[in-house]
Amino acid sequence: MIDIDKIKKQVEQTSTLDELEALRINLLGRQGVLNSYLKELKNLPLGERKKRGEELNLLKEELESVVNKKIEAITSSFLLERLKKESIDPYLPPFPINIGRMHIINRIINKIVHIFERLGYETVEGPEVETEYYNFEALNMPAHHPARDLWDTFYLNNGKLLRTHTSPVQIRTMESNRPPIKIIAPGRCFRKDNPDASHSPVFYQIEVLYIDKGVNFAHLKGTLEYFARSMFGRDQEVKFVLSYFPFVEPGAEVAVKCVICKGRGCITCKQTGWLEILGAGMVHPEVLERQNINSKIYSGFAFGMGPERIGMLMYGINHIRHFLDNDLRFLNQFKFHLED
Ligand code: DAH
C-alpha cells in the first residue's frame, strides 16, 4: 500500500515546480502509482472492491491537496525571493518620461488664434499653392505693379506660385461670404528671400480681416491694443507708423514697446525701444469692390503678422531657423511655456 507519510516527505523535499511535477506524474499521472492500484480494483471481490475504492479515492484527494499546497508554497517563495531581489525603493525619483508636446510655433499660433476667437473671429485656412490672382491681382496689385517686388516669389511650372503671404485668404473669404466678415487665417508662407536671422524661405503668417458697416481705424487700433495686452501683458503699449501696402488705405506698421527692455533700448529693438510686429490697414475700397462688396456701405480692417517674430521677441530667440530645425535641445526649452 502507499505510504502517505513517505510521499508527503518526498513532496516536501522538492524545491522546484519541475521536480514537483515529475513527482505528481509519478503518483497521480495516468501511468502513476495510484492508477496502478485503481486498475487492480477489478480483481478484488465486490465487497472489498467498494471499500478499497473509497480508500483510494480519499488517498487521491489527499495526495492532490498535498501537491497543490506545495505548488502554492513554491510559487510564493519564488515570488518572495524575486521581490527581495527586485526590491523597489519608492522614494527614488521616477525615470523621466519623454512626453511629446506641440511645437512651440504651433503653440504661439494657437495662443494668438485663441485671443481672436474670444473676440468672435472664425479660423479659416487657404491653400499654400496659390494663383497670381489671389496672391497679387485681387489684392490691388495688377501684373507689372511694382509693389509685387515687395514679395520675392517662388513661381511653379504650372503658372501657379507659393503664396508669399496669407492675405489671399482675405480674398477667398470675401468671394464666398457676405459681410459681416470676421476671420483669422494662420498658415505657412514662402518667399525667395536670402535666409538670415529674421528671414526664412518658409515661415508662418496670421491674417486677420474684419468687414462690417462703419468699421474704422479706431476699431483697428482698439483691436490691436487688446491683442498686444493679451499677448504681452496688461501694460503693453502699441504704436502705429504710417506704411504702404497696396491692399490697404491707409496702411500702417504696428510696433509694440520692446518686450525685452520695456522701451529703454536694447539689441533686440536696435536701441529704438520699439518692435514692429505686423502690417495693418483699412481694406482698400478697390479690394472690396472687386469682390462685389459695396465700399460705400461696408468698410473693414486687416492685418498680417509673423508668429515667429512674435515668439523671437517673447523668448529672446536670436534666429528664425530654430523654428524649423526641430533641434530637441531648442524645443525642450519650452516645456513650461504657453501650456494654456
Ligand atoms: N501681407 C503683408 C505682408 O506679407 C502683411 C499685411 C500688411 C497684411 C497689411 C495685411 C495688411 O492684412 O493689412 O507683408
pLDDT tens for each residue of 255-285:
988 877 888 988 777 888 888 889 999 999 9
**Residue 336: pLDDT band with limits 50, 70, 90:** low
The helix or strand, by DSSP H or E, that contains position 318, with its residue range, turns out to be none
Report all structural domains of the chain as residue ranges with CATH numbers, in order of start: 4-85 (no CATH), 104-334 (3.30.930.10)
Q: How far apart are CA 308 and CA 189, in angstroms?
A: 12
CA dist list (Å): 1 to 4, 6, 42, 52, 64 = 9, 12, 16, 11, 17
Is the pLDDT reported for residue 340 higher than 50? no
Contact 144, 246 (CB under 8 A): no
Q: Whose CA is nearest to atom 7 of ligand 1?
A: 279
Is 329 designated active site? no
24-28, 50-54, 176-180: range with highest mean pLDDT: 176-180
pLDDT tens for each residue of 15-36:
888 999 998 998 888 888 888 8
pLDDT tens for each residue of 92-127:
888 887 777 889 999 999 999 999 999 999 999 999
For residue 300, the CA-to-ligand 1 centroid distance in Å is 14
CA-CA-CA-CA torsion sign (257, 185, 328, 195)? negative
Is the pLDDT reported for residue 320 higher than 50? yes
Closest CA to 203 of 186, 190, 184: 190
For residue 216, the CA-to-ligand 1 centroid distance in Å is 17
pLDDT tens for each residue of 68-98:
999 999 999 888 888 888 887 888 888 887 7
pLDDT at 338: 54
Residue to substitute in 219, 245, 303 for testing ligand 1 pocket (most ligand atoms within 8 angstroms of CB):
245
Contact 315, 268 (CB under 8 A): no
**Is ligand 1 within 6 A of the CB of residue 248?**
yes
Ligand 1 atom closest to the CA of 283, numbered from 1: 13
Closest CA to 60 of 32, 21, 41, 20: 32
Is 205 designated active site? yes
Contact 67, 11 (CB under 8 A): yes
Q: Whose CA is nearest to atom 8 of ligand 1?
A: 304
Could you report how far apart the first and last alpha carbons of the chain are, in Å?
80
For residue 60, the CA-to-ligand 1 centroid distance in Å is 92
Q: Whose CA is nearest to atom 4 of ligand 1?
A: 165
**Is ligand 1 within 6 A of the CB of residue 334?**
no
CA dist list (Å): 242 to 120, 132, 250, 254, 295 = 28, 27, 8, 9, 22
Q: Which residues of 291-313 are buried (b: 16+ CB within 10 A; e: fewer)?
A: bebebeebbbbbbbbbbbbbbbb
Question: How much is the pTM?
Answer: 0.72
What does the mean pLDDT of the chain come to?
Answer: 90
* List 107, 148, 163, 191, catalytic entry: 191
